[in-house]
Amino acid sequence: MEAYLDHAATTPVFPQVREIMDKVMGEDYGNPSSKHTKGMVAEQYIKSAREEIGRALKCQPKEIIFTSGGTEANNMALIGTAMANRREGKHIVTTRIEHASVHEPLAYLEEQGYEVTYLPVESDGRVTLETVEQAVREDTFLVSVMYVNNEVGSVEPIGEIGAMLHGINPNILFHVDGIQAFGKMRIHPGKLGVDLLSVSGHKFHGPKGVGFLYVRDGVKIHPILFGGGQQNGMRSGTENVPGIAGLKVAVEMICREHQKKREHLFALKSQLVSGLEELEGVTVHALQGASMVDTAPHIVSAGFAGIRSEVMLHALAQEGVYVSSGSACSSNHPELSGTLQAIGVGQELLDATLRFSFSVNTTAEEVAYALEAVEKLLPTLRRFTRH
């Protein structure tokens, strides 16, 4: 048996997504900028996808800019707004637990003369409203807080932050990295006070290489890609029509029976957490003092005392259980997790933590199999504990 429990890294596409992408690549392959019938058919796929996303977010279709994925969406949101709002100020507020695709663009902006305040979080991985409020200054033009943390599954108080920011200064832009949240949480940017929202298709059974950035109508943002002027000049480059068509189907399917899907994920999470907490020397992170229903339903982060995460990961893979030692992107940055350090995880568990993550297709049998594998491996692997 196999148990793929690394859905926060990527998900397999829905069969219907694969089918529509194959049709577009094989039959409806026109360039959407072409004026003939083939081009108009391709353009219709893009229009239809914008409308589907608009229904999901309760926003206007014109507020959606298609990107190559979440990383580009985050870069566009941060660098694009910084370039377009220079006169509003040069101070940005974010948290210490953001994804690298937020931290790295902000580091670049710091090199360009911007000042960034990195906020601490509590042991449950949440930033407090008071902490954000105290960090805002007269020259703050942008606040960026992720909705769901990709490593430990903490859910940030996005609605409360949005209301607070727009109460203090309606000109402050609020960007949310929604990459791990879309499809697991109901996200209505207008209601939450969110001005920019980043989403990636392959996190909810859509294709890799496509995502989108929601930009509230009226927000000033500068393009970071130039060329043919596609998407009203905001993101040049021939649109990835097969990917966008697949994204549309994935959005439609993941939003269908949303509450039922959440309940399924929470049941899996409860099963896994209960099983892990029964094992000696295992600590589930970011649940101390937090109700499970206040966390993301699809992510569990656990530390295994005395066993290096890489050793545990490969041992589980030998058993057909596939998990992660953190963010999938962190394999390119092998230093210890900043998120785990930010929530106060002890030194002994910083390099002894694994992330388990589910999707709507994950079964209780897979979770049970993973728990059996963990329980079987723990005593053997601990014999090789480093001293």
- The pLDDT tens digits of the residues spanning 83-115 come to 999 888 999 999 999 999 999 999 999 999 999
Q: Look-up: residue for tokens 């068509």?
A: 245
Q: Which residues pair with 304 in a beta bridge?
A: 282
3-state secondary structure of 324: strand
For residue 6, what is the DSSP state?
Answer: B
Structure confidence at residue 290 (pLDDT): 58
CA distances from 283 to 302, 303, 328 (A): 5, 5, 21
| Dist CA 355 CA 125 (whole Å) | 15
Tokens of 198: 């980043």
Q: How wide is the angle at C-alpha 101 spanned by C-alphas 97 and 105, nearest 5°?
A: 100
Q: What do you get for the CA distance between the two ends of the chain, in Å?
A: 34
Q: Which residues pair with 198 in a beta bridge?
A: 177, 213
Would you list the DSSP string of 140-161? EEEEE--SB-TTT-BB--HHHH
Nearby residues of 31 by Cβ (< 8 Å), 6 or more positions away: 38, 39, 42, 238
15-255: which CATH architecture? 3-Layer(aba) Sandwich (3.40)
Residue 44's CB is within 10 A of a number of other CB atoms, namely 14
Positions marked active-site: 329
Radius of gyration of the CA atoms of the chain, in A:
21
Structure confidence at residue 293 (pLDDT): 78
CB 225 within 8 A of CB 35: no
Residue ranges covered by each domain of the chain: 3-11+258-382, 15-255
* Interval 273-288: pLDDT, tens: 999 999 999 999 987 6
Query: Given this structure, which CATH class describes domain 3-11+258-382?
Result: alpha beta
| Dist CA 173 CA 89 (whole Å) | 11
Longest dimension (CA), the chain: 70
For residue 56, what is the DSSP state?
Answer: H
* Interval 139-192: pLDDT, tens: 999 999 999 999 999 999 999 999 999 999 999 999 999 999 999 999 999 999
How, if at all, do strands 3-4 and 321-322 pair? parallel
Q: Where are the beta strands (DSSP E) in the chain?
A: 3-4, 64-67, 91-95, 115-119, 140-144, 173-177, 196-200, 211-215, 282-284, 299-304, 321-322, 353-357
**What is the residue type of 51?**
E
Q: Helix axis angle, 258-277 relative to 241-255, nearest 10°?
A: 80
The stretches of the chain forming alpha helices (DSSP H) are 15-26, 37-57, 70-84, 100-111, 129-135, 158-168, 189-192, 241-255, 258-277, 309-318, 338-342, 347-350, 364-382
CB 44 within 8 A of CB 30: no
Taking all residues of the chain, what is their mean pLDDT, rounded to a whole number? 94
Nearby residues of 67 by Cβ (< 8 Å), 6 or more positions away: 73, 76, 210, 211, 212, 213, 235
Going by C-alpha positions, the residue among 158, 160, 233 that lies closest to residue 196 is 158
* pTM for this prediction: 0.95
Which portions of the chain are predicted below pLDDT 50?
330, 332-333, 387
Structure confidence at residue 32 (pLDDT): 97
3-state secondary structure of 64: strand
Structure confidence at residue 385 (pLDDT): 61
